[in-house]
């Protein structure tokens, strides 16, 4: 490709574009105006047309070589190449270009301090290139500074890199509409470091395009600024570093949030409601969009709405942990609608509705037609409406069950188990268990052993615990079972929390702990010498009773039949009472 220069309409000489970067012409010379490459095809020559000669008789050309033959798009001249115009000529050219833009409907007011090309042809090509991307005149008017970007030096390199990292060409126009500032960016200096930063956060390579399409402004952030501090703060409260990448893929907007103004106030407020930071970290890992809820406009009003509808303050943490989206819903309207529906159709009073929300907050978003189906099924089986209401308050999960599964469970309950409806009223959680994987197998095991027990006794326990109960020679005294609460750990009577870690203790470790506790109590209660406790006969009576009780406890511990295997320091008082009671009962032994 060559540039043709004409002097005094006589001599012609050619200069290859591969050896020049910019050509300047001064004096009595006419420069045939440059017409950039077509957007669709590359012409081997730069087409030229005549322009009026200048009055300056001096002519000179200054050439600048470049070695960028590897990247032809970076070898194009700058927007100022061509004739170095005087002040008057520049003003004339700017007026001509502004008139051209106005004829297209583009308002050039913001281009006053922007360097513009010297010819209409170059500006026309830029406008046409943007229109081929899918931008309209209205889009250009929203950010007219994009007209200051060279097609070859700015637009093509940037768009080529964006396509390389995963943004489809069909979506490129939409991307530029959302973030036109990207056309000004330097690929090497600005775009590449941001992409490397995202990859360093464990954002998968195939997800880069998706992340940037959701939040293209990421390409304009400084690495040492907001992005780094937001990530560092989340890691400091317990978010796993390896979980940051999935969080960015799910909700990249948190990278643009300021810690002091947005993230930390949200964390502090949720902690004040009773949520530990470790629980918050798990919530953010799975539902990073919570960070996007407005604290003053959404979160606090929603918490106030829960309290106003009867949810107890001590239950707020559990409600939020079970259903974090409740912080961002239009909650007051939903609560009002559902409370009225439960009162009208299910005969559940506001207090009962509040207890339902505490156990299953997802019910605020449940469709009312879905709720009615299991209710109608239960009423159709002869259960009075008042009893159905009590069942729902006790186990709100009933209203979200599929009727087909409830039918199968109810049929097995009546035909195979042949139990009265009263047991279903006492334990409505029966319908929440799988018929094939839990109810049938366990019931068959019980039937083979001839054991008759309540529904809660053989269903509301782990597989390991069920096996322990089957191996026992007696049925444990029933107590109030763990509360059925979706999404969290089970709460047992006494305020202790039962987690999966408690089941990981080995038999040997549990038996050892039990033995040590019993021996320590045994030695502390036994007098040091016969004289300290009275007569020798009294001493040996007490010794015999202690040995007898210790033997019973040890036998129970070997078979893991009782809760002594899970004794903790807080239970020493109870054990002390048991030992004293046994000593008194056996005091008459000779």
pTM to 2 decimal places = 0.66
What is the model's pLDDT at position 61? 37
Angstrom distance (rounded) from CA 343 to CA 350: 7
What is the model's pLDDT at position 224? 84
What is the model's pLDDT at position 505? 41
CA angle 143, 222, 240 (to 5 degrees): 125
What is the model's pLDDT at position 140? 92
Residues (pLDDT < 70) of the chain are 1-87, 90, 473-590
Angstrom distance (rounded) from CA 274 to CA 313: 9
What is the model's pLDDT at position 516? 45
What is the model's pLDDT at position 449? 87
* 443 close to 417: Cβ distance less than 8 angstroms: yes
* 101 close to 123: Cβ distance less than 8 angstroms: yes
What is the model's pLDDT at position 526? 52
- Compute CA 541 distance to the chain's CA centroid, rounded to the nearest angstrom: 66
SS3 of 133-174: the string is: HCCCHHHHHHCHHHHHCCHHHHHHHHHHHHHHCCCCHHHHHH
* 188 close to 195: Cβ distance less than 8 angstroms: no
What is the model's pLDDT at position 551? 54
What is the model's pLDDT at position 339? 97
Residues shown for the chain = 590
* 472 close to 561: Cβ distance less than 8 angstroms: yes
| Ramachandran class of 269: left when φ > 0, alpha when ψ lies in -120 to 50, beta otherwise | alpha
* 381 close to 410: Cβ distance less than 8 angstroms: yes
Domains with residue ranges and CATH for the chain: 1-147 (no CATH), 148-364 (1.25.70.10), 366-468 (1.25.70.10), 503-585 (no CATH)
Sequential DSSP letters for 497-566? EE-GGGGG--HHHHHHHHHHHHHHHHHHHS-SSTTTTSSHHHHHHHHHHHHHHHHHHHHHHHHT-SGGGG
């Amino acid at each position: 490709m060559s540039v043709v220069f004409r002097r005094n309409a006589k001599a012609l000489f050619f200069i290859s574009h591969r050896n020049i970067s910019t050509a300047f012409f001064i004096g009595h010379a006419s420069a045939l105006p440059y017409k950039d490459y077509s957007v669709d095809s590359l012409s081997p020559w730069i087409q030229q047309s005549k322009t009026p000669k200048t009055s300056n008789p001096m002519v000179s050309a200054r050439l600048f070589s470049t070695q960028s033959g590897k990247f032809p798009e970076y070898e194009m001249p700058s927007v100022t190449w061509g004739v170095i115009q005087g002040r008057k000529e520049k003003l004339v050219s700017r007026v001509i270009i502004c008139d051209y833009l106005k004829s297209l409907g583009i308002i050039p007011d913001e281009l006053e301090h922007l360097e513009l090309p010297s010819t209409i042809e170059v500006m026309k090509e830029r406008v046409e290139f943007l229109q081929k991307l899918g931008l309209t005149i209205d889009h250009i008017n929203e950010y007219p500074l994009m007209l200051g970007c060279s097609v070859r030096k700015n637009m093509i390199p940037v768009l080529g890199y964006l396509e390389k990292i995963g943004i489809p060409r069909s979506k490129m126009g939409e991307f530029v509409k959302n973030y036109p500032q990207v056309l000004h960016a330097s690929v090497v200096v600005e775009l590449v470091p941001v992409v490397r930063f995202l990859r360093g956060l464990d954002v998968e390579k195939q997800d880069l395009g998706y992340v940037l399409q959701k939040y293209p402004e990421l390409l304009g952030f400084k690495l040492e600024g907001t992005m780094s501090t937001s990530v560092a703060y989340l890691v400091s409260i317990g978010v796993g570093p390896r979980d940051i990448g999935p969080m960015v893929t799910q909700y990249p907007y948190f990278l643009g949030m300021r810690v002091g103004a947005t993230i930390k106030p949200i964390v502090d407020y949720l902690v004040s409601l009773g949520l530990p930071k470790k629980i918050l970290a798990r919530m953010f890992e799975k539902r990073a969009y919570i960070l996007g809820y407005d604290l003053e406009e959404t979160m606090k009003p929603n918490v106030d709405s829960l309290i106003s509808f009867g949810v107890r303050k001590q239950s707020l943490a559990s409600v939020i942990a079970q259903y974090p989206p409740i912080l961002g819903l239009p909650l007051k309207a939903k609560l009002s609608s559902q409370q009225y529906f439960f009162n009208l159709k299910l005969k559940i009073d506001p207090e009962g509705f509040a207890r339902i929300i505490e156990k299953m907050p997802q019910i605020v978003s449940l469709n009312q037609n879905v709720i009615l189906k299991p209710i109608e099924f239960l009423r159709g089986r002869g259960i009075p409406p008042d009893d159905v209401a009590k069942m729902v308050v006790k186990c709100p999960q009933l209203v979200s069950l599929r009727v087909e599964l409830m039918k199968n469970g109810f049929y097995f309950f009546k035909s195979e188990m042949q139990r009265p409806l009263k047991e279903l009223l006492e334990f409505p959680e029966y319908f929440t268990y799988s018929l094939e994987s839990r109810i049938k197998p366990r019931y068959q095991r019980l039937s083979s052993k001839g054991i008759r027990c309540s529904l809660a006794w053989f269903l509301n326990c782990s597989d390991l615990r069920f096996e322990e109960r089957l191996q026992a020679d007696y049925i444990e005294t029933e107590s109030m079972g763990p509360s059925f609460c979706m999404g969290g750990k089970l709460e047992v009577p006494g305020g202790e929390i039962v987690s999966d870690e408690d089941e990981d203790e080995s038999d040997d470790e549990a038996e050892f702990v039990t033995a040590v506790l019993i021996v320590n109590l045994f030695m502390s209660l036994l007098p040091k010498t016969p004289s300290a406790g009275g007569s020798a006969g009294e001493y040996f009576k007490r010794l015999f009773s202690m040995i007898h009780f210790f033997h019973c406890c040890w036998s129970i511990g070997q078979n893991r039949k009782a809760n002594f295997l899970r004794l903790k320091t807080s239970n020493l008082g109870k054990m002390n009472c048991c030992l004293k009671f046994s000593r008194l009962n056996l005091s008459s032994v000779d």
